[in-house]
Structure 1
Amino acid sequence: MSYSIRKGNKEDVEDIMKMVRKTVEIMKSENIDQWTDEYPLADDFSRDADYGSLYVAVDEDDNVAGSITIDQREPDEYGTSQWRKEGPAYLFHRLVVDPEVRGKGIASLLISHTEETAKEHNVYYIRTDTYSLNKKAQALFKKNGFIQTGEIQFMGKENPFYTFDKILEH
């Protein structure tokens, strides 16, 4: 099965939320409180669709297998991290893949789309973050060439979030 990326829309939010609910259950079972029943919500993804920053990975039948938000909206907390570069950056947030199709390269495909989007806008720098307890996301980011740059306190969580960045080739 092959997957492609397209712009996400409000009609995709129901499918995305099914993936989020499954992911929250997995996180709970692994004692990771990064995502909860309070975040992320359907409204977050609907807003992303309104902003034109929501992208989905779909199979040949247009079934949603994952999603990512790509934008330049940097949380205030990013100002307290150590970054390798100043200037404009693209960010990705709320990366989720349906647990039933994990391991097929969908998350890496979505991250790669972030890189393509940044380059299309002549921005050669990407920033992101993940929860310090989320070892799977940290490994995914490192596998995709991201470097851990620092940590921030975020979303009222007791444990820190780790920040990552990637400088892209021109």
Structure 2
Amino acid sequence: MVVNTSLQDIEVVLSLYKIASDFKKTVSGIQWPEFDRNMIETEISENRHFKITVDKQVACVWSITFDDHQVWEDKNEDPAIYIHRIATNPNFRGQKFVEQIVEWAKQFASQHNKLYVRMDTTAGNQRLTDYYVKCGFTYLGDQKMTDTEGRPDHYHNATMALFQLDV
């Protein structure tokens, strides 16, 4: 079941991001930076950070925005939600959380009068690209990042793979 993350979850969330970053590095050679605690707390307080729990444990987390002009440029004008930083507790890998997030995101987007669910990830991970396509996203190609002011470090000098799902 998808619910909002609470401030009491902050240590678990930061831990899951660290674990995911380390795993990402072994798979693709690219890792996430250490995310700013204040950024995560803001997402939580704005009800834009979510979790799936299994047996009272946080199994998966992610955040959303309603605006992502630096990545999506002109397409940002389209009514969309943007999913960021999906991280899964390694004790629960293989439980198809992205598929659950997709179903949740389509409903959430529809309730907020959005036409698309969008995501980006660092380009070059074919396995992840194939997985997102299998989950229903259309791969739209790669986008070289130019304006990254205020973005987490992994966007700087990066090329991102863009994905879109019609609601």
> Fold match, TM over 0.5?
yes
Which of residues 12, 17, 35 in structure 1 aligns to 2:32?
Answer: 35
Supply the AA of the counterpart residue of 1:157. Answer: N
| Contact 2:78/2:115 (<8 A) preserved | no
| Aligned equivalent of 2:124 | 133
Cα shift at 1:34: 4.0
Local SS of the residue matching 2:106: helix
| Aligned equivalent of 2:97 | 106
Distance, in Å, in 2 between the alignment partners of 1:103 and 1:124 is: 29
| Aligned equivalent of 2:85 | 94
Q: For each residue in 1:88-122, what CA deviation from the matched residue of structure 2 results, as whole angstroms up to 9, or x when unmatched?
A: 11111111111221101122212322111101122
| Contact 1:65/1:98 (<8 A) preserved | yes
Supply the AA of the counterpart residue of 2:166. Answer: I
Unpaired runs of 5+ residues, structure 2, are: 146-154
Q: How many residues align?
A: 158
Change (3 A) 1:136 1:23: farther
Local SS of the residue matching 2:19: helix
Cα shift at 1:54: 0.6
2:140 is equivalent to residue 149 of structure 1: yes
- What stretches of structure 1 move > 6 A for 4+ residues in a row? none
2:19 is equivalent to residue 22 of structure 1: yes
Change (3 A) 1:10 1:137: farther
Cα shift at 1:44: 2.6
| Aligned equivalent of 1:44 | 39
| Aligned equivalent of 2:52 | 57
Comparing 22-31 and 5-14, the one that deviates more: 22-31
Q: For each residue in 1:37-69, what CA deviation from the matched residue of structure 2 results, as whole angstroms up to 9, or x when unmatched?
A: x3x3333321210221111000132x1111111
Supply the AA of the counterpart residue of 1:54. Answer: H
Which of residues 4, 7, 11 in structure 1 aligns to 2:8?
Answer: 11
Distance, in Å, in 2 between the alignment partners of 1:68 and 1:123 is: 18
| TM-score, normalization by structure 1 | 0.82
Determine what percentage of the aligned residue pairs are the same residue.
Answer: 19
Supply the AA of the counterpart residue of 2:141. Answer: G
Coordinate RMSD, CA, aligned: 2.1
| Contact 1:66/1:107 (<8 A) preserved | no
| TM-score, normalization by structure 2 | 0.83
Higher helix share: 2
| Aligned equivalent of 2:65 | 71
